Amino acid sequence: SSSLSGFGAGKVILLGEHSVVYGYPALAGPLSRGVRARGEASNKCQLVIPEALTAEQRKVLKAAFGRAMAACGEPGVKVSFDTDLPLSMGLGSSGALSVACARVLLQAAGRKASATEVAAVAWEMEQEFHGTPSGVDHTTSAMEQLILYRRKPGAEQGRAKVVESPKPVKLVVVMAGARSPTKLTVGALRERQKRWSERYQRIFREIGLLASEGAEAVEEGDLEALGDVMNVNHGLLAALGLSSPGLDDMVHRLRNMGALGAKLTGAGGDGGAVIGLFHDTGPAVHELTRLGIRCFDSQLAGPRSEGTRG
Ligand code: PMV
């Protein structure tokens, strides 16, 4: 085990963020961008923590790795990582890191690195990063397929159903705002829903229905229907207080550029990412880049044409 390597894909939530925390389904798929972890044989099990992190981030990262390490019996491996994923943008960077580390640790321990095993170890890390996450991030990353994910509140692991797509599902992902810590938006929403439970539960339930309808639209190859579901989902996320002028503005821009649907993705709040669904992502990426707006495109599901990736 002199040189081990593991990749954890970033993820995009197409439908159902936040309501997934309350037990409703979400539709999510992997990005080609993610976190690459590498392992070298070592006399103890350790993680190389990047210099650039704050004291608090180092502490959390150390604690998270400690849990994954313990779950794998502390194999003798020194793990380092790098990423091409924008951080704290609702693109699942912590889930991707958890999956990448889990893959290397399991290999180092001489254990099977099936998607289920990887997800179980990554889950240890994710709980340290996020407190009570739904698990959609690391599950999508470990499975590397478009999934309809659901976790009943209180249940240990969520369930994922692979959603097959006869058509390419292509997105433009735009970094529309400042960094947005998931813990804050999830916590603030939790307070509102505690106080006005019925009103918020009604909206969560409706978003859950949209996620299921979206999965059906994907299976039927009906991208127009999927786009419409995304637009409605964005409206309901705004109703929950999870959008912002910057995110709304980008959603409208993408629709004006011909997106079949556009919405915020991930935690929302003051910043984070916005996604647009397109038949052809090229012109929108070109136009946004020309305007100096950070974006990239990614195919989440469906048949891939020769020579393209992600
Ligand atoms: O912002 P991200 O990539 O961590 O995604 C958050 C998704 C939420 O539904 C808001 C939280 C969760 O635990 O599922």
17 lines ligand 1 (CB under 6 A): yes
237 lines ligand 1 (CB under 6 A): no
Reported ipTM? 0.93
Atom nearest to 18 CA in ligand 1: 9
Q: What is the pLDDT of residues 3-36, one digit of tens each?
A: 899 999 999 999 999 999 999 999 999 999 999 9
Q: Whose CA is nearest to atom 3 of ligand 1?
A: 90
Task: Decide if 112 contacts 106 (C-beta within 8 A).
Answer: yes
Q: What is the pLDDT of residues 33-57, one digit of tens each?
A: 999 999 999 999 999 999 888 999 9
Q: Has residue 258 got a pLDDT over 50? A: yes
CA of 16 to the centre of ligand 1 (A): 10
Mean pLDDT of the chain: 93
- What's the whole-number mean pLDDT along residues 288-294? 97
Reduced to 3 DSSP states, what percent helix, strand and coil does the chain have, rounded to the nearest 5?
A: 45, 25, 35
Rounded percentage of the chain residues whose pLDDT exceeds 70: 97
- What's the whole-number mean pLDDT along residues 91-108? 95
Q: Where in the chain is the domain with CATH 3.30.230.10?
A: 4-162
Q: What is the pLDDT of residues 59-97, one digit of tens each?
A: 999 999 999 999 999 999 999 999 999 877 788 899 999
Q: How far apart are CA 80 and CA 40, in angstroms?
A: 9
Q: What does the pLDDT read at residue 86? A: 83
Say whether domain 169-301 belongs to CATH 1.10.443.10: no
Q: Has residue 116 got a pLDDT over 70? A: yes
Q: Which residue among the candidates 84, 137, 270, 297 is catalytic per the annotation?
A: 137
Q: What is the pLDDT of residues 170-227, one digit of tens each?
A: 999 999 987 767 788 989 999 999 999 999 999 999 999 999 999 999 999 999 999 9
Least confident of 84-98, 162-176, 238-252: 84-98
Q: What does the pLDDT read at residue 130? A: 80
Least confident of 113-117, 191-195, 224-228, 306-310: 306-310
Q: What does the pLDDT read at residue 308? A: 53
**Ligand 1: which of 12, 18, 83 to mutate, most ligand atoms within 8 Å of CB?**
18
126 lines ligand 1 (CB under 6 A): no
List the one residue out of 155, 143, 260, 134 whose CA is nearest residue 207: 134
Residue 159, H or E segment: strand 159-162
CA of 266 to the centre of ligand 1 (A): 5
Q: Where in the chain is the domain with CATH 3.30.70.890?
A: 169-301
The CATH number of the domain covering residues in 4-162: 3.30.230.10
Q: What does the pLDDT read at residue 1? A: 43
- What's the whole-number mean pLDDT along residues 290-300? 96
* pTM of the complete model: 0.93
Active site residue 137: yes
Atom nearest to 185 CA in ligand 1: 10
Half-sphere exposure of 228 (CA within 13 A, CB side): 7
- What's the whole-number mean pLDDT along residues 279-289? 98
Q: What does the pLDDT read at residue 306? A: 65
Tokens in use for 124?
Answer: 């240890």
CA of 1 to the centre of ligand 1 (A): 34
How long is the chain?
310
List the one residue out of 10, 269, 20 whose CA is nearest residue 136: 20
271 lines ligand 1 (CB under 6 A): no
DSSP 14: E
Q: How far apart are CA 66 and CA 102, in angstroms?
A: 11
Atom nearest to 268 CA in ligand 1: 1
Collapsed DSSP state (helix, strand, coil) of residue 42: coil
Collapsed DSSP state (helix, strand, coil) of residue 95: helix
